[in-house]
Each structure stands twice: as C-alpha cells, then as structure tokens.
Chain A
Amino acid sequence: MINLQNVSFSYNNEKVLSNISLHIDKGEFTAIIGSNGAGKSTLCRIMNGLLKPSSGTVTVNGMDTRTTKSSILARHIGFLFQNPDRQICKNTVGEEIRFSLDIAFTDKSMIEKRLFETLSLFDFDADSNPFHLSRGERQQVALASIIAAEPEILILDEPTTGLDYVECMKIMSIIKKLNDKGITVIMVCHDMEIVLDFAQRILVLAEGRLIADGETREIFKMEEILRQASLLPPQIARLAARFGFDDVFYVDEMTDIVLKRIKNRRKRTG
C-alpha cells in the first residue's frame, strides 16, 4: 500500500525527516507517536503526496507521489487534518458531504446512497449548519465527508486533540469500524491510552528519525526508546513496571496479577 524508501525531507535547509524506510500493508492500524516537532505531521504529508520527499521515494499503491497529482492520490488516501475548520466550506452538513462525493463519484445514485449511509453512520442531521456545531462535532463532519468518498487509506493527524472523551470515543469507534472493514488507518496521536486500545502497530519518531517500528505492546515495553522520544507508556504499564510485572497493559491484566500475588502471599504466610 504505502512504501517509503530512504525518505528524507527538509524545509529550507532544515532537515525534518531523515532516511525513513517503512512499509504499510492493507488493513493495518498504525499509530505515529513522538514529541511536538518530531516530524509526525510532515511524515503524514509526505505519505499523501502533499509534500514531495527531498530524497528517496514514496509510493502509494505503486504510484510514485512525485509524479502523481495530489488530486489523484486523494482518491486513494483520505486525510483528516487537526483543524476541521480548514476543510468545512459549505453551509449544511449534507452539502459538505455531497461536496466530497461529487468529486469522488459521477454516478448519481451512488452519490445518494453514500450520502445516506454516511449521514446515518454518524447520526447527523443533513440540514444543520456546521458552523453552529461544537469543535468535536465539526471534527466529525470533516471525518464524515472524507470517508464518504470511500478511500482505501485513512491518515489522521491528531484526530482527537481538543475533543472531550465522549466525542473522542465516537470518532475512534467509527475509525475502528472502518478498519475492521479493511481500510488502512494511519493515525498521529498523543494519547497513549488511545494508541494502546486501538493501534496494532506503532512508529516512534524522534527528531525526524524513525527510532522504532513494531507491534503496539512490544513498543510500549521499550522504555529506552520511549525515553529517547520523550514519551511514557500507558498508565497501567507504568504502574506494572514499578513492580517488574512484564507485559501488563490493561486494568484487567493488572487486577489478575495483583490478586494472584495476594493469594501467593496468603499461602506463604498462612
């Protein structure tokens, strides 16, 4: 699907990404983590062809981003920016979604079908004015109009920043649903609990270098790597680490191991 080979990128002589190689397969759910300024957003823009690599090659479904127009790549990759207000430009939610559909499809009945499906997936009122909605709801409108066009790959740059827990979970559950249907998801996220709960694979960026790439649980065990990237594992994993419990990430897992220890102690003392 997406393939990066020795990709470097500089903004006016300032090197922001150095020598990144990676491959993302169909259906994966990948999180990109790293501190502010590590190059996460730049990497996302490189992947969808908004930025062209200074050296190295990026291919999406076999197309080289350097020689393919952005508007063509957009048919394959949906990209949700952090700020929904840069995307929404129509006066009703229905029109906003239709705007994307008109670009993606020519078949009238297909457009009507997707419009209906998308509105009901998000439970939207087609006539509501997006500018009267809250930030979290506008983020949902932006996401809706992107996935309406049925991209095979979804790139999300901090989709949950500035949202409350309920809004966050609504967006994440929709993304999860799409991923279950086989859509490839790549997501930048600062919330390690969300990364733990949803992503299968993690890319760790630090100062423009890809310092780790692996399965979620494996990455969260690499304290040294995370420290280099100024990150901390999820809360329960941090707690477990203080007791030397390995491979414990969730409340249930921690509960089990603590109860087992209590029982062992009783056996010994009693």
Chain B
Amino acid sequence: MKGFFDYVPGSSYLHRLNPLTKLLLALMICIAAFISANHLFLVMLIVLNLGIGAQAGIFTRSVMLLKGLLKLCIIIFLLQVLFIRDGNVLVKLPLNIFITDGGISSAFMVVFRLVTATMPLALMLSITQINDLSNVLVTKLRIPYPYAFALTTAIRFIPVFANEMTGIIEAQTSRGVQLDTRNIFKKIKLVLPLCVPLLITSVRKIEGSAISAELRGFHLRTKNSCYKKYAVNINDICVIMISVVIVGSAILVNSIF
C-alpha cells in the first residue's frame, strides 16, 4: 500500500500537463478497459500504462504496482477459472469442478481489466499534486470547495496512515509481538488489534485538520482564491485527443473482432 499513491516530484512531459488532462487520460483508459472485450487490446493498454510510468520517471513504481496487484489477480483468476463453466471442458477435477476454455478466457479478461483500470488512477495520483487536482476541480469543474477539500484530505491521508501503521508495527515488534512470523493467519490475528491505535490517531488527525483549516480561513475561500493558474496548452489538447482515440479504438476493436 505504502508509496503507491503519494506524489513523486518531477518535471516530465506528463507532470507538466494540466491536472484535468491527467485525470481525463486516466479515466479514459479506465473506460476503454471496461468497454474492450479484446485480450490483445487490454494487454496493449497495460503496456501503455507502463509506458506512461516510464515517461513520468516512475517506471519502478509502476512495476511494483503491477507486482502488488499480482496476488489479487491470482486469487480472482482462480475463482473465475473454477466457477465459470462456459465453453469446452478442458480438465475435469473432483468435486464436480470443470476447467473450461471459456472460463480461462474470461478469467484473463477480468484480470486484465482489473489491472488496466487500477493502474492509471494510481499513476495519475503519483504525478499530480493533490492540491492541484482539488484546485482544478473547484475552478474548472465548479465542484463546491468543501467537497474538493474532503476528497483531497482523504487521498492525502492514505500515505499518512500507511506511515502511522509502519510506526505501530515497529512499536509492537519492539515489544515482542511476533509480527515477523510467516504464518499469514497468525499475522492477521496479531495485526487486527493494532487497528485500535490507528483508529484513535486517525480521528485525532482528522479533527486537528478541521480546526487548522478553519483557523486559516477555510470558510473565507472563494472560487477565485486559487493562486496557481492551470492553463490548457497544446500538449493538453494532444493528450486529450489521444485519450479519445484510446476509447474510440476500444469500441472499434470490439466491433471488428
């Protein structure tokens, strides 16, 4: 979890785009992933995601993200393979379980979709400052400021909580709790009680943030308060067009094959 969502400073082509453009690109890739029913196209989208990561100088993180998703993918893949019974039976297992070619095909589809739809959002958050995102939401999309603030606070807290959890685990390990065990069930049993300190700290932090925002003019803010200007330039237009092309090709590919 830690380190997938926090901002990585940089000045790549993608970093410099308007936050809205980045958001649009991410959403369009997600949409394309859900529309598409073509394995090859989905694989190409995954490659595109990695390409985006490489361009923005966070290739290692993209690969880590992919690895992180792998565990989840394996579980979903197995469930799909074991419980979908369309098409021809390839293997017959005891307990009346079949493995079919349709099952395998749709399992791959679901897994590819999951990956293609998760990656762009995580990558977008890695190369966009949350405040910038909130600012464009308020100034360009006219979303009321309190909602934008709530959204940014929620996103901002992800790495904060991850850090807090690391600290809690350190503290508990130091007092001899065997969090370094390899037994996953034992580990879960040991980690669960640690949610208590996490919860207490979270409540305190959220309350502190609210007071602090109030004491720095939260209620005085207007739509024009924002200092940074977010211009849309030629690069943004290009990327917007590419986003549309991606969704378009998803539809096109579907209708051809």
A contact set with B: CB distance below 8 Å? 45, 48, 50, 69-71, 74-75, 77-79, 81, 83, 85-90, 100, 103-104, 131, 145-146, 149
Contact = CB atoms under 8 A, between A and B. Distances in A.
A79 B168 contact: no
Contacts of B171: 79, 81, 86-87
Given A86-B164, A89-B194, A145 B175 contact: yes
Contact of A71 (B168, B180, B196): B180
Contacts of B173: 50, 70-71, 74
Interface of B: 164, 167-168, 170-180, 193-194, 196-197, 200-201
11 contacts: A45-B170, A50-B170, A70-B173, A85-B201, A86-B170, A87-B168, A89-B196, A89-B197, A100-B175, A103-B175, A145-B175
Given A81-B167, A81-B171, A86 B197 contact: yes
The 7 nearest A-B residue pairs measured at CB: A74-B176, A79-B174, A86-B171, A103-B176, A87-B171, A71-B178, A86-B168
A132 to B, nearest CB: 11
Contacts of A83: 167
Name the residue among B170, B174, B178, B201 with the largest chain A CB count within 10 angstroms.
Answer: B174
B170 A85 contact: no
A69 B176 CA distance: 10
A49 to B, nearest CB: 9
A88 B197 contact: yes
Contacts of A100: 175-176
A131 B171 CA distance: 17
A50 B175 contact: no
Contacts of B179: 71
Given A75-B176, A81-B171, A131-B200, 10 more contacts: A70-B173, A71-B178, A74-B174, A77-B174, A78-B174, A78-B175, A85-B200, A85-B201, A86-B171, A87-B171
A103 B201 contact: no
Contacts of B174: 48, 50, 70, 74, 77-79, 81
Contacts of A131: 200
A250 to B, nearest CB: 35
A149 B176 CA distance: 10
A104 B177 CA distance: 9
Contacts of A50: 170, 173-174
Nearest to B174: A79
A149 B196 CA distance: 22
Contacts of B196: 89-90
B180 A70 contact: yes
A13 to B, nearest CB: 13
A87 B197 contact: yes
A231 B175 CA distance: 32
B177 A86 contact: no
Given A71-B180, A83-B167, A146 B201 contact: no
Nearest to B169: A86
Nearest to A75: B176
Nearest to A91: B196
Given A69-B180, A86-B168, A79 B197 contact: no
B175 A149 contact: yes
Contact of A81 (B170, B178, B193): B170
B201 A104 contact: no
A131 B167 CA distance: 18
B43 to A, nearest CB: 32
Contacts of A145: 175
Nearest to A155: B174
Name the residue among B170, B180, B200 with the largest chain A CB count within 10 angstroms.
Answer: B170
A241 B176 CA distance: 46
A86 B200 CA distance: 10
A195 B180 CA distance: 35
A86 B176 contact: no
Contacts of B193: 89-90
A85 B175 contact: no
A26 B59 CA distance: 49
A79 B173 CA distance: 10
A151 to B, nearest CB: 9
Contacts of A149: 175-176
Contacts of B170: 45, 50, 81, 86
A146 B174 CA distance: 9
A78 B173 CA distance: 11
A71 B174 CA distance: 7
B200 A71 contact: no
